Amino acid sequence: MRPVLVLNGPNLGRLGRRQPEIYGSTTHDELAELCRAWGEAAGLEVEVRQTNHEGELLDWLNDAADTATPVVLNAAAWTHYSYAIWDACAQLTAPLVEVHISEPSQRPEVFRHTSVVTPHAATVISGQGIDGYRQALEFIAAKSGD
């Protein structure tokens, strides 16, 4: 099975408790279980990680670059301003899928309308709720079969 990283940025560890009207009621632990199951069904070995520390996410992205590991990335707030995340994503050679639970372009906060991840992503899946992660893993599985 092909390894895949699902990386989640700040505050996503509070899924199920943080603004459920936007992000739903699924917890991060439940999301991780779902991602592993969806990945297994698609022939992927999925590891799910979440951090509130930007440097840790950068280390994970650098490791993914070094090992040519595909990444599903929800960089959360860092999506909109972190040039360090931009640089780390630029080095990835395996597919990168950008995921957002909500639809950032439809959110009232204008800062959410810009992404530093999108220029490096093979595709962007947003506004699909937790199911966006399933779609991202299926995209990577299809790319792995190319």
Three-state DSSP at 117 gives coil
> So what's the pLDDT on residue 145?
64
> So what's the pLDDT on residue 113?
57
> So what's the pLDDT on residue 92?
98
Query: Is 22 annotated in some ligand binding site?
Result: no
Residue 129: Cβ-neighbour burial (10 angstroms; 0-12, 13-18, 19+): middle
> So what's the pLDDT on residue 107?
65
Q: What is the DSSP letter of 87?
A: H
83 is catalytic: no
Domain coverage including residue 132? 2-144
> So what's the pLDDT on residue 111?
58
**Torsion angle of C-alpha atoms 30, 44, 135, 69, degrees rounded to 10:** 100
CATH code assigned at 49? 3.40.50.9100
Query: Is 101 annotated in some ligand binding site?
Result: yes
In single-letter form, the type of residue at position 112 comes to R
List per-block mean pLDDT (blocks of 10 residues) for the chain, which spans 146 residues: 96 89 88 98 98 98 98 94 96 97 73 81 95 98 80
> So what's the pLDDT on residue 18?
83
133 is catalytic: no
Query: Is 102 annotated in some ligand binding site?
Result: yes
Helix extents (H) in 68-105 = 83-90
Phi, psi of 101 (to 5 degrees): -65, -45
Judge whether 19 and 78 are in contact, CB under 8 Å: no
Q: Indicate which residue of 81, 83, 100, 133 is catalytic.
A: 100
Query: Is 28 annotated in some ligand binding site?
Result: no
How many structural domains does the chain have? 1
> So what's the pLDDT on residue 114?
77
